[in-house]
A = this chain, B = another copy of it.
Amino acid sequence: MQHAFVTGAAGFIGSNLVDRLLAEGVRVTGWDNLSTGQERFLAGALQHPQFRLIRGDNLDLPALKTAMQGADFVFHLAANADIRDGWNHPEKDLQQNTIATFNVLEAMRANGVKRIGFSSTGSVYGEALVTPDRPTPETDAFPVQTSLYGASKLAGEGLLAAYAESGQIAEAYIFRFVSILGERYTHGHVFDFYQQLVEHPDHLRVLGNGTQRKSYLYVQDCINAILHVTRQGTARDAKHHTQIYNLGTPEFVQVNDSIRFICGALGLKPRLDYTGGDRGWIGDNPFIFLDTKKIQATGWKPKLTIEQGIIQTLRWLEANRWVYDARH
């Protein structure tokens, strides 16, 4: 990898990836429409001679094709990640996830870029049908989608695979993430809980009944995994040029555990107001726990536990309260 093209470069994971790639000597073109990305996350990168940021939208295929010229690897991270709010603007997942991914692939084809890493999600498993209380493997039973977000990521995965298995591109790496957290995290339950506790330290509103079991992964561990696998080139000589990896830690926590970690770290004992029910919102999955044997078999493993990742995230939010104002 000599010149990486990163969509969503100003986002949470994207900007961390950009910094890492630059540190490792890779030239980087960042692409972002700055709709939710923060240029401030790229403050360091923008000082680097090997980096350029192009402001553009994945729905603008001609501009995307031009911007991608010269790249030899695409990391496609740009997405609408607002899983909870899908039904208020159902076209958003279709456009920013499905159609955007199609455009990225078409831009690759136009430029002869042969390799891609794609951020998918454990949400594509819907509510795992066959193994409801065990970690979900990549080869789980054909899932039933439960959210527009999951459906749009599934559609993106299908497109990558069709391009790779038809030989239009050479290597497609699909990463099904659990929730990622860490530096530059700007949405999710730690973000919301911290905001609430700053505003009213004596009580905390919790979506659902608190028993939802979820998995999280620290962003630097996530990036380690992505770079580890794409550099090994596991899709190169495999039967399938599409390689799919669950990314997560080999553990899960309840929302109530997470509340305990956060309140403990902040020294607070708020009253907990649960909205009730076994899921936080329509389409929420009460149990997310991915089987990560496949990625671990490549030699990667996470450095931080979920608890450590949550605390790390909290510390970053405490030091970067500006993100609450910057968020659109």
Contact = CB atoms under 8 A, between A and B. Distances in A.
Interface of A: 86-87, 90-91, 94, 98-99, 102, 106, 125-126, 129-130, 138-148, 150-152, 154-155, 157-159, 161-162, 165-168, 240, 242, 244, 282-283
Contacts of A90: 102, 106
Contact of A282 (B98, B144, B148, B166): B166
15 contacts: A90-B102, A99-B99, A129-B139, A138-B142, A140-B141, A142-B142, A142-B244, A144-B242, A145-B158, A145-B165, A147-B165, A148-B166, A151-B159, A154-B155, A155-B159
Highest count of chain B CB atoms <10 Å: which of A162, A167, A168: A162
Nearest to A93: B162
A141 B144 contact: no
Contacts of A167: 282
A283 B154 contact: no
A150 to B, nearest CB: 7
A244 B146 CA distance: 14
Given A102-B94, A141-B142, A148 B126 contact: no
Contacts of A162: 86, 145-148, 150-151, 283
A270 B202 CA distance: 86
Nearest to A151: B158
Contact of A151 (B144, B147, B151, B161): B161
